[in-house]
Amino acid sequence: MTDARIEYLLRLGDDRLILGHRLSEWCGHAPILEEDIALANIALDLIGQASLLLGLAGKIEGQTRDADALAYLREAVEYRNALLVELPKGDFAVTIVRQLFFSVFALLQAEALQRSSNQELAGIAAKAVKEFRYHVRHSADWVLKLGGGTTESRSRAQRAVDDLWRYTGELFLADDVDRAVAASGLGVDSSTLESSWSETVRDVLERAGLTIPETSYMQRGGRAGRHTEHLGHLLSEMQILARSHPGASW
């Protein structure tokens, strides 16, 4: 049976690694210089956290896989990130709305993980809390600007909310892995974060004049390795260097 601890740490690490990579695609392409820098900074925070979390997963696994092996030598079906983070970066509105959805979730999760029974995970989480506070403020600030901006910015932001909403449910789906790590004290049951998340996100969207779609259907699959076609393309780009030159270093 798979070790729930490793499975859980892969979920945490993969969410950050894949979203960090998606954000890095904006480098040199963001609408204004300040945003180029901001998105690259946020990507760096996420990739840094991913490296620590995957390193911890590898350590607990006790085999030879380090953070690099886990990031660069796994196939899409072995990835455990939520579908939300692997979707293409879209336009700036899609990127920003996704950042709001994910950052609020990740901040709540990191706040809870500061009390993890695993000291290393608690330390990584305490560091991450400080970083996610900046990420939440950045995305909420922009959602308000886009929602209250021009007809164009508002319609794009609304479209982004409509398109991404059905990927938010997966963040709070609790399965045996969540329950096992919550029981052992290492992790937190994601479903317990939903009401706080919903309150904050609804508050921002309402203030931005944006509406939440009425659908209750939610996509799922990422946590079990069933991904969209987008992840394979992302991995092919992210992993090509490591796979073309196995064991290379500089």
Partner 1 sequence: MSAAAATRDEIFEILDAVKDPEVPVLSVVELGIVRDVRVDGEAVTVTLTPTYSGCPAMRVIEEDITAALMERGLGPVRIETVYAPAWTTDWLTDDAKRKLEAYGIAPPGRAAHETLVSLTRAPSAAATPRCPYCHSRDTVIKSEFGSTACKSICFCRACSQPFEMFKAI
Footprint of partner 1 on this chain (CB under 8 A)?
Answer: 34-35, 37-38, 41-42, 44-49, 51-52, 107, 111, 119-120, 122-124, 126-131, 133-134, 136-138, 140-141, 144, 200, 203-204
Nearer to partner 1, 137 or 233 (CB): 137
Q: Which of 212, 221, 177, 198 is nearest to 108 (CA)?
A: 198
Nearer to partner 1, 49 or 83 (CB): 49
* Side-chain-facing half-sphere of 59: CA atoms under 13 Å: 10
**How many other CB atoms are there within 10 angstroms of residue 79's CB atom?**
25
Nearer to partner 1, 123 or 225 (CB): 123
Nearer to partner 1, 47 or 164 (CB): 47
1, amino acid identity: M
Residues 117/182, Cβ–Cβ less than 8 Å: no
The pair of structure tokens assigned to 152 is: 């164009």
Residue 145 CB, shortest distance to partner 1, in Å, is: 10
DSSP code for 222: G
Nearer to partner 1, 78 or 203 (CB): 203
Residue 129 CB, shortest distance to partner 1, in Å, is: 8
Q: Which of 112, 63, 75, 79 is nearest to 13 (CA)?
A: 79
Residue 175 CB, shortest distance to partner 1, in Å, is: 27
Residue 172 CB, shortest distance to partner 1, in Å, is: 19
